[in-house]
Amino acid sequence: MRKIVPAIVVAAALALSCGRTLRDGDYTLTVLSTNDVHGTWFDSTYTGAGVRKSLFAVNSYVDSVRLADGPENVLLIDAGDCLQGDNAAYYYNYVDTLTEHLFSRIVGYMKYDAVIAGNHDIETGHPVYDRVAAELKREGVPFLAGNVVRTDGNGSYFPLYTMVRKAGLRVAILGYENANIKAWLGEEVWSGMDFKRIADVIQADVDMVRAKEHPDVVVAALHSATGTGDGTVLEAEALDVLNSVGGIDFLICGHDHRPYVETRDTCALLNSGSHARFLAHGKLHLKVEHGAVVEKSFESDLIPIDATKADPAMRAAFRKDFEAVRDFTLREVGVLTDDIRTRDSFGGQSAYTNVLHMLNLQNGFAEISLAAPLTFNKTVKAGTLVFNDLFTIYPFENQLYVISMTGEEVRRYLEASYDNWVDVPGSNHALKIRQGDNPRTGERRWSFVGTSYNFDSAAGINYDVDLTRPFGSRIVIKSMADGTPFSLEKTYKVGLTSYRASGGGGLLKAAGVDSDMIEERTLARYPEIRNILYDYLMENGTLEPYAYGAILGSWQFVPEKARIQIQKDMDLLFPSNRN
């Protein structure tokens, strides 16, 4: 898609930035961007299950663009969430901490011009992202996030911007982190930082950089979702910025995993989606006559990545890294007695959520567990478990928190959770689902209206979810797991993730718990939950999803006819998995 701006508009738009005169002629700048790659660097899975889309395949396309347009004319930027989500990221984050991080080396190999910090990058903790930021600096690639400021008053924690020369133009690249991090992550991973709302600071930043550096082109890269442009969602500020901030030529965003591009008269927005499925592609054309820009136009589109076209030279260059990660993640760690299907969690109590709740309760300190399915539709087969399976069971680097909650707060928390999950009485469905185009893949299918990783169930108690009742009265808690009475007035020790304890998903807020004051309620913190699972297997050897009833209790949807409708809805959600 391409838009051309008349010369008079261009002249006005560039008046502030032209501290020098461009030579007459035509200029074309190509901008390529990735975001939310989440560790999908290698083109091969570690189990030999085939190829996947990857940065190896992205690099093949980037090289083809550089060959066609000239490498000096191509800008390559990543908009964050690089350091979490795959075995390779985990291995170089926490296992091999002496070798230069694989991501730093890949960024240098691919010749990125800048990388932006994402919330999942911060989630890895200071030792990881501080190390990577230093390594990237040595590679000549800045790790940007100008709205992350030091609480000691010494400016921004990461650089705000970098200057590069591309296509004969001086290009300023400004970077911004998601402003909502405190709602998701505990302070231990972002200590010493504060996060400014992007829309509050970016115009002043752009004006400062234009006045100081006199760039011909300004690119702002945000690890913030596209959003709706109404200014109401802190984690989705891209359209807010596009609608209100002047002086930006390209706006790159991410975080929501939804591929999207938009071209306006004076700016193009690029969001490549996630997991190297697409490469976002933009072009800026400038025509200069007598030292003045007389024509300016933009193009933007999404390039689907072909998984089979991984760069063979890049694969060879990083083969030893792949082998190290593969060997680590295929280590045997224990035995699973029953199949785990994550999709079963949406229809009721399941083997998968039994395991998650057991991990919250197994040390005997927490009395009640709150946990959600973290993977939409994956299966781990009974038999020998390897470390790779632990990423399916627990894909995130969340810690375990134990906090104090009253029985009434637990009940309200569950009311809010199931209200995300189930439909109102009298509707055509028991689950809150709809049919439409998946914004991430374009596929037409049935899906949940809400995000399924916010569908928390509870363990340590026995309860029913009555689908004939409206919100506020669906949850009927009958007793503790051992049959002793449950009291709405009593205070309980509740195990949940650091994401939830920080306010993620809004469930604590719905329960009347102020996550900003969570320290006052925090009774204990434990390591990352995947590590708790690993330690459990090292000690016990066997994972038995149906053997923990004594501590878990039970829950069910009622009445019987509701369970029948739920199964019909599950068949719509997972048509290929009817068994």
Q: How far is CA 420 from the centre of its chain?
A: 20
Q: Tell me how far apart the alpha carbons of residues 383 and 385 are, in angstroms, rounded to a whole number.
A: 6
Burial (CB count <10 Å: 0-12, 13-18, 19+), residue 315: middle
* Structure tokens given for 157: 């924690």
Integer CA distances (angstroms), 468 to 465, 473, 474, 554, 561, in order: 9, 10, 8, 20, 10
Q: Tell me how far apart the alpha carbons of residues 104 and 106 are, in angstroms, rounded to a whole number.
A: 6
Tell me which residue of 217, 225, 187 sits closest to 80, measured CA to CA.
225
Q: Tell me how far apart the alpha carbons of residues 5 and 49 are, in angstroms, rounded to a whole number.
A: 49
Q: Tell me how far apart the alpha carbons of residues 495 and 458 are, in angstroms, rounded to a whole number.
A: 10
* Structure tokens given for 443: 């596929």
Give the pLDDT score at 437.
80
Give the Cα-Cα-Cα angle 574, 431, 459 (nearest 5 degrees).
Answer: 95
- The DSSP call for residue 77 is E
Give the pLDDT score at 390.
95
Q: Tell me how far apart the alpha carbons of residues 271 and 77 are, in angstroms, rounded to a whole number.
A: 11
Concatenated DSSP letters for 324-390? Answer: HHHHHHTSEEEEESS-EEGGGGGSSS-HHHHHHHHHHHTTS--SEEEE---SSS-EE-SEEEEHHHH
What SS3 class is residue 545?
Answer: coil
Report the CATH number of the 2-325 domain: 3.60.21.10
Tens of pLDDT along the chain (579 residues) come to: 545 444 334 443 443 344 467 899 999 999 999 999 999 999 988 888 789 999 999 999 999 999 999 999 999 999 999 999 999 999 999 999 999 999 999 999 999 999 999 999 999 999 999 999 999 999 999 999 999 999 999 999 999 999 999 999 999 999 999 999 998 888 889 999 999 999 999 999 999 999 999 999 999 999 999 999 999 999 999 999 999 999 999 999 999 999 999 999 999 999 999 999 999 999 999 999 998 889 999 999 999 999 999 999 999 999 999 999 999 999 999 999 999 999 999 999 999 999 999 999 999 999 999 999 999 999 999 999 999 999 999 998 899 999 999 999 999 999 999 999 999 999 999 999 999 886 666 778 899 999 999 999 999 999 999 999 999 999 999 999 999 999 999 999 999 999 999 999 999 999 999 988 999 999 999 989 999 999 999 999 999 999 999 999 999 999 999 999 999 999 999 997 654
What SS3 class is residue 185?
Answer: coil
The topology under which CATH files domain 331-577 is: 5'-nucleotidase;  domain 2 (3.90.780)
User: What is the sign of the dihedral through the CA atoms of 196, 202, 208 and 213?
Assistant: positive
Burial (CB count <10 Å: 0-12, 13-18, 19+), residue 565: middle
* Structure tokens given for 364: 């005997």
Q: Tell me how far apart the alpha carbons of residues 355 and 357 are, in angstroms, rounded to a whole number.
A: 5
pTM over 0.75: yes
* Structure tokens given for 389: 């399976």
Integer CA distances (angstroms), 339 to 4, 342, 361, 546, in order: 57, 10, 21, 11
Contacts of 313 (CB under 8 A, 6+ apart): none
Q: Where are the domains of the chain?
A: 2-325, 331-577
Give the pLDDT score at 45.
85
Residue 406 β-bridge partners = 491
Radius of gyration of the chain (CA): 25
* Structure tokens given for 495: 């195990």
* Structure tokens given for 534: 């690993």
Q: Do 486 and 492 meet the contact criterion of CB atoms below 8 Å apart?
A: no
Cα atoms in the Cβ-side hemisphere of radius 13 Å centred on 146: 21
Give the pLDDT score at 11.
40
